[in-house]
Structure 1
Amino acid sequence: MSEQQGPEHSLSQQPSADEASADMRQALLDAGKTEFANYGYDGARLERIAARAGCAKRMLYYYFGNKKDVYLAVIEQSYSDIRESEELLNLDALEPLQALHALARKSFEYHEQNREFTRLVLQENFQSGEMLGQISKTELLRKAALEPIERILQRGVAQGLFREQPTAVDVHYLISALSGFRVDHAATWQSLL
């Protein structure tokens, strides 16, 4: 291997400008998720987000514009991430009871492994869900959460496994509530037990 090949090879392994930009944006989103989960929208500080991401505060303005836009991007990505993890389950290929079980298990695991998501949802609920309705993907995320459950319930009703009473919203709410409660209240329950 010649000396010329060494530097060329190392240069080709360096991330492109687009990759570096995407990495920085993701680092800011990750840092923002931690900050907003810990302090809520009002208590979050852009300085701490930038410091946690290892960059100057101006990078937040470059990538997002302002604090509200950082928050909206964090919320959107957080909800997109859980929906994407559920899509990997291929629920339509499972029997209705298996599908509900798999969805509930995935939700429990996701909340357990992504505690910041649960705290972020709590923080958003403390603000009456004001910001969630402002993200660009609200309708897509709603459909991604409810339509798979609707299909499971329809198949279950057709097979005589379920009554027509519970709606997809009811089932989603129940699974989400139990998944989040388990994580949100773990510290107090440990103190009581």
Structure 2
Amino acid sequence: MVPFTFGDDRIESLAAGADLRVARVGAAVALLGRADEDPLPLVVGGFDGLDPAQGARPVGASEFLKGVVLVEDGPALMPRSNPCAVSLPDGRVVVLGGRGTSLGTTYAVPWVELITPLAGAKPTVLGLPLMPQPRVWHTCSALPDGSVLVVGGMDDSAGEPRPLTNALVVMPPPRD
């Protein structure tokens, strides 16, 4: 690793061999798994290039960063860039909104997916009810009760960009 030091803080680059399998612009990262179960960083979404007008497409594959030097396929998700991904206290991850494409046009999407880790098996992905409005460039935060607070962002799904002033709370179903 190549460390970069800023005062007492350190930023370290990943060792050789930790490159993602898919180039990603506008991806999100969240930890999948509870803290006591050695959670894995899960990279979701993004575009596979810089410009959708030039053929860049949203990525539907996710990837785990295992041991910070090994990349492994994660679960398939709805293809999009700029999603918001948040780790829940019970080890699951919620992925919300982002930008999708259709016929070369990008637009905000209302998709919500819940990723649940399973011991000894691939994680499962459950589509949750859509958000009331598509949104991109929003924030999301896990709340102590297991819900997710989603704030702000932008909706351009009807053609004209609109900043969103509302906040919502998404409550995933209980973990079985």
Whether TM exceeds 0.5 here: the answer is no
With the shorter chain as reference, the TM-score category is under 0.3
Q: TM-score normalised to the size of structure 1? A: 0.23
- Report the structure, 1 or 2, having the larger helix content: 1
Larger Rg: 1
Q: TM-score normalised to the size of structure 2? A: 0.25
- Report the structure, 1 or 2, having the larger strand content: 2
